[in-house]
């Protein structure tokens, strides 16, 4: 499973793999339950994980950078049900995060998504970075 094919859908919990698309929606497979279903774009909005950015005290960073920092950290991942523990975790793992603009619910979602991605052995890589490197190598 590739990180570039993963999406979040408004109104639906969890993450989904984009299996196919139609003019009025998408065919997706849930990472938690592995159920494939059609989701209408008239009812829901889709967000590719690659396009999600996180507010920091400097430049905004892509969500994958936060996941990479979480993966490299030796800190114990907190429970999704403890907002204070989650905030304390992110202050140690990613201290540049702008905690005034990143809500507790967003941090909770990052922990939940990270657990889902690890359970499904998804590599934290952006497809655009790979494509750029391949293009540069071809031109050289």
Q: Which residues of the chain have pLDDT under 50?
A: 130-140
* pLDDT given at position 132: 44
What is the pTM assigned to this prediction?
0.84
Q: Check whether residue 29 and residue 87 sit in a common domain.
A: no
Distances (CA, A) of 8 to 30, 109, 131, 135, 138: 10, 11, 23, 29, 33
**Domain of residue 7, residue span:** 3-49
**Number of domains making up the chain:** 2
* pLDDT given at position 125: 86
* pLDDT given at position 126: 81
- Residues 6 or more apart from 72 whose CB is under 8 A from it? none
Q: Check whether residue 40 and residue 102 sit in a common domain.
A: no
Give backbone dihedrals phi and psi of 6, rounded to 5 degrees, phi first.
-95, 140
Q: Check whether residue 44 and residue 62 sit in a common domain.
A: no
Q: Check whether residue 121 and residue 62 sit in a common domain.
A: yes
- Using left for φ > 0, alpha for ψ between -120 and 50, and beta otherwise, residue 25 falls in left
Q: Check whether residue 57 and residue 102 sit in a common domain.
A: yes
* pLDDT given at position 1: 81
CB atoms < 10 A from the CB of 63, how many? 22
Q: Check whether residue 122 and residue 67 sit in a common domain.
A: yes
């Amino acid at each position: 499973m590739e990180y570039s094919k993963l999406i979040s859908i408004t109104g639906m919990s969890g993450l989904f793999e984009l299996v196919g698309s139609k003019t009025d929606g998408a065919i997706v497979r849930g990472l938690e339950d592995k159920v494939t279903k059609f989701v209408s774009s008239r009812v829901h909005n889709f967000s590719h994980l690659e396009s999600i950015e996180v507010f920091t005290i400097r430049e905004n960073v892509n969500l994958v950078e936060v996941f990479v920092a979480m993966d490299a950290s030796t800190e114990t991942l907190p429970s999704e049900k403890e907002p204070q523990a989650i905030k304390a975790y992110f202050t140690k793992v990613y201290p540049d995060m702008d905690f005034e603009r990143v809500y507790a619910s967003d941090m909770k979602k990052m922990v939940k998504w990270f657990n889902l991605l690890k359970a499904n052995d998804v590599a934290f890589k952006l497809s655009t970075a790979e494509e750029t490197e391949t293009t540069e190598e071809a031109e050289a």
